Amino acid sequence: MEHSPAAQKILGISATIWFITAATGQLIFVYYLAMLYGWGTLTGNWQVWNTVMPKGYIDGDSLGNFAVSFHVLVAILIMTAGIVQLIPHIRQRCPHFHRWTGRFYISAAILTSIAGLYLIWIRGGTAGDFTQHLGLSGDALLIIVFAILTLYFAINRKLLEHRRWALRLFMVVNAVWFFRIGLMLWFTVHQAPVGIDTETFTGPFLSFLSFADYLIPLAFLELYLRAQESRSAIFQYLTAIVIFIATLATVVGIFAAYMALWGPRI
């Protein structure tokens, strides 16, 4: 089947629906982080950092405590900025705002990734085992590389490549969010912690998810980008179906995460 405007339109609609769904879920997560950690920090209740993280706040560890607070609080701003950056109306109507928000987004993403690597390998005390730490580190390194490439193509006015790398950056920046909705989707499907030791927060599924939380979203994105460029209507329709299925899984993961993780702590 040759190129079809209808297939291209359906593909675009499927991507838009997924983005709206993901953006809504991410804003819920941002609100959760702001209410749990942001409010606790502003009120001087530093122990709130230990609500989820095993060593979020440690008495006397000024550098480590700063790294944790910087990593989480800046993540709130990064996730919000990332959503704003991908809204076409804002990008087209407010290019100056888009550029300055992009500079913040890229700079903050790099800095918070470095802070994350420090927390994993130097400060220690992060949840999970060595394999999970490798997965987290891989994501941090990809964030740094993708951020640099996004900036490089923007500076050189290669806007198509800039857009592609910005989308890839969006996916890896949100790996921590994908991890949570993926985990809760897994619990919802199995109704049990299959492949997970809940006492130590280790297990084969968590090892898999620590890499899958950014590699699978990247794979879906690459499929979408290839479909956009393809002249095959069949390929575009099939990709749209895959994205719709991914959207349904995203909805279930968001709802489960809100009910079990975010809502009870807000």
Rounded distance between C-alpha atoms, residue 133 and residue 144, angstroms = 17
Domain boundaries, the chain: 5-265
Cβ neighbours of residue 254 closer than 8 Å, sequence gap 6 or more: 21, 24, 25, 28, 181
* Tens-digit pLDDT profile for residues 118-164: 878 887 767 778 999 999 999 999 999 999 999 999 999 999 999 99
Per-residue pLDDT at 172 exceeds 80: yes
Angle at 119 between CA 116 and CA 121, to 5 degrees: 105
Q: Are 80 and 27 a contacting pair, CB within 8 Å?
A: yes
The mean pLDDT of 33-44, rounded to a whole number, is 71
CB atoms within 10 A of CB 241: 13
Q: What is the mean pLDDT of residues 238-258?
A: 97
Answer yes or no: is pLDDT of 1 > 60. Answer: no
Which neighbouring-strand residues pair with 202?
197
Q: Which of 135, 131, 165 is nearest to 150 (CA)?
A: 165
Phi, psi of 202 (to 5 degrees): -130, 175
pTM of the shown model: 0.89
Query: What is the average pLDDT across 81-104?
Result: 91
Share of residues in the chain with pLDDT > 90 (%):
67
Residue 140: the pLDDT is: 96
pLDDT band at 12 (very low <50, low <70, confident <90, very high): very high
